[in-house]
Copies of this chain bind each other. A is one copy, B any other.
């Protein structure tokens, strides 16, 4: 059973999740044996190895939980959160511990066991984004769920344990403090300036140009000034919007085009790169927020967190974002910017 715990002085939250301890690890096994020692649960034909579909895009003449799909959402077999709140928690100091419940799902991106170096075509990313939107909308109907993190761990250095391309989503009964702090800072600056502060920064970046990777009327990609990671890239809608669920097909299409292009380019710049994708969007039940702007973050994992980072909360990034953007925009497919 999972438990949410917080250090009362550090305000740092941890999901104690014993259910995840025994999950398989393709990469650890592959390092010793060359090949994973189990059939891939995400390949077409192996649907019985996962829980039942929560959401699926499949051909009309196929059967639920059988072959014939192109995107499939299933419960995570080793969830970080329990499906329902526990009536009793079993561990820590009273007041700093609560039930760790919610939803933890796997979005199997494709029936095919693609190599890590492959990137989906823009059209397929577009379909995946529509699935993200659908999951976020569905979570709004579950009483008690407050926030969802949609993410992808790609490659062993990014925390992936299975090779088959997949995203994940974890929906939580609590908005993380870091998200709340960003919302509050944004609202406060909006009240001062009458404009979304991220929109303002976006305008300044477009004006300066040095950190731009790609621009289009719908979406801008750039390496943020305080990039935590080498080649960290953020994709944001040009028109202000706090909720990814509200993005229209034009925005999703351009987002898909830029993401596909940047991932292809990253693989050229750093072959075999591991990365995380993280969708930063407003809490499930928040109204449209004038001071918060959703974004999709690409977080390449060339550098590790180490003692200094744990001790300070700061990051060390050896590749200046100005240089990262210069290298990433050497690609005509990415649009007019740069």
Q: Which of A261-290 contact B (CB under 8 A)?
A: 276-280
Separation of A277 and B310 alpha carbons in the complex (Å): 9
State whether A226 touches B92 (Cβ < 8 A).
Answer: yes
Chain B residue numbers with a CB within 8 Å of A149 are 307-308, 311-312
Chain B residue numbers with a CB within 8 Å of A277 are 307
Q: Which of A299-315 contact B (CB under 8 A)?
A: 299, 304-308, 310-315
State whether A226 touches B14 (Cβ < 8 A).
Answer: yes
Chain B residue numbers with a CB within 8 Å of A306 are 151, 153, 158-160, 276
In the assembled complex, A17 has its CB within 8 A of some CB on chain B? yes
With contacts A5-B226, A92-B226, A93-B225 taken as known, whether A13 is within 8 angstroms of B313 at the C-beta atoms is yes
Contact with B along A1-44 (1 / 0, CB 8 A): 00101111111111111111100000000000000000000000
State whether A226 touches B6 (Cβ < 8 A).
Answer: yes
In the assembled complex, A201 has its CB within 8 A of some CB on chain B? yes
Say how far A190's CB is from chain B's closest CB, in angstroms. 11
With contacts A225-B92, A225-B96 taken as known, whether A16 is within 8 angstroms of B320 at the C-beta atoms is yes
Chain B residue numbers with a CB within 8 Å of A80 are 308, 316
In the assembled complex, A237 has its CB within 8 A of some CB on chain B? no
Say how far A82's CB is from chain B's closest CB, in angstroms. 13
Say how far A17's CB is from chain B's closest CB, in angstroms. 5
Say how far A26's CB is from chain B's closest CB, in angstroms. 14
Please tell me which stretch of A112-120, A131-139, A171-179 contacts chain B, meaning at least 4 of its Cβ atoms lie within 8 angstroms of it: A171-179
In the assembled complex, A321 has its CB within 8 A of some CB on chain B? yes
In the assembled complex, A191 has its CB within 8 A of some CB on chain B? no
Instruction: Sample 29 A-B pairs with CB under 8 A, ordered by A number.
Output: A3-B320, A7-B224, A8-B197, A9-B185, A10-B185, A11-B181, A12-B313, A13-B312, A13-B314, A13-B315, A14-B315, A15-B315, A15-B317, A18-B323, A20-B316, A20-B318, A21-B319, A80-B308, A96-B226, A149-B312, A151-B307, A151-B311, A152-B307, A153-B306, A158-B304, A160-B306, A168-B307, A168-B308, A179-B312
Interface residues of A (CB under 8 A from B): 3, 5-21, 80, 91-93, 96-97, 147, 149-153, 157-160, 168, 170, 172, 176-179, 181-182, 185-186, 189, 197-198, 201, 204, 224-228, 276-280, 297, 299, 304-308, 310-323
